[in-house]
Amino acid sequence: MTTPNKTPPGADPKQLERTGTVREIGSQAVWSLSSCKPGFGVDQLRDDNLETYWQSDGSQPHLVNIQFRRKTTVKTLCIYADYKSDESYTPSKISVRVGNNFHNLQEIRQLELVEPSGWIHVPLTDSHKKPIRTFMIQIAVLANHQNGRDTHMRQIKVYTPVEESSIGKFPRCTTIDFMMYRSISHLEAARWFCK
């Protein structure tokens, strides 16, 4: 059983993105939940608002399923939990599982959370400390604080490493202006190269 890396209060995973070494890929996945109260589902879990949350509505374990269309390299999972606001709804034991589909998921991390307040960074690496490649991630809430029945999760982010260019090494450009224009679509690239 591993303990989560304690993140200083207020640390935002977007700081990881600003380093230019990772990017958030949650929008490339299909998200599903084992249950939810109306108006407290996937949209709230992914809306970048720490005041909204997913609330389960059923028996444990409560599941968040993240499925990619192709095998995807994943380096870090970031979960926002807030014991001060959510009390007995706050997860105290979480299992992170990966696999090709629902039928072959294997647990790679189990976390014990003690009154978490902020972002919890969960490294998704193999035994050689390399990022995993997977079609699916499942987060299972196995227990809540104070033996609570339903759970709250406020945000979940999924990060992949940014690969080095095959052309050569370029300096990392991390200014806000550069970050706005750091990617070019295939269509834009074709127009640019086919002039």
- At 51-110, the pLDDT tens digits run 999 999 999 999 999 999 999 999 999 999 999 999 999 999 999 999 999 999 999 999
pTM: 0.80
Q: CA of 56: how far to CAs of 50, 72, 163, in Å?
A: 17, 27, 36
Residue carrying the six token digits 């706050």: 90
Taking CA atoms, 78 is separated from 4, 96, 192, in Å, by 11, 12, 37
Task: Over range 152-165, report the average pLDDT.
Answer: 89
Average pLDDT over residues 11-19: 84
Options 3.90.550.10, 2.60.120.260, 3.30.70.270, 1.20.1050.10; CATH of 13-169: 2.60.120.260
> Could you tell me if 119 and 46 are in contact, meaning their C-beta atoms sit under 8 angstroms apart?
no
On average, the pLDDT of the chain sits at 86
Contact indicator for 189, 96 with CB cutoff of 8 Å: no
Angle made by CA atoms 151, 126, 93, in degrees to the nearest 5: 20
**Would you list the domain boundaries of the chain?**
13-169
**Is residue 140 pLDDT above 90, yes or no?**
yes
- Detail the DSSP E strand segments found in the chain: 22-24, 29-33, 54-55, 62-74, 76-82, 91-99, 106-112, 117-123, 132-144, 152-153, 155-161
Calpha distance 12→7 (Å, rounded): 9
Mean pLDDT of 17-39: 95
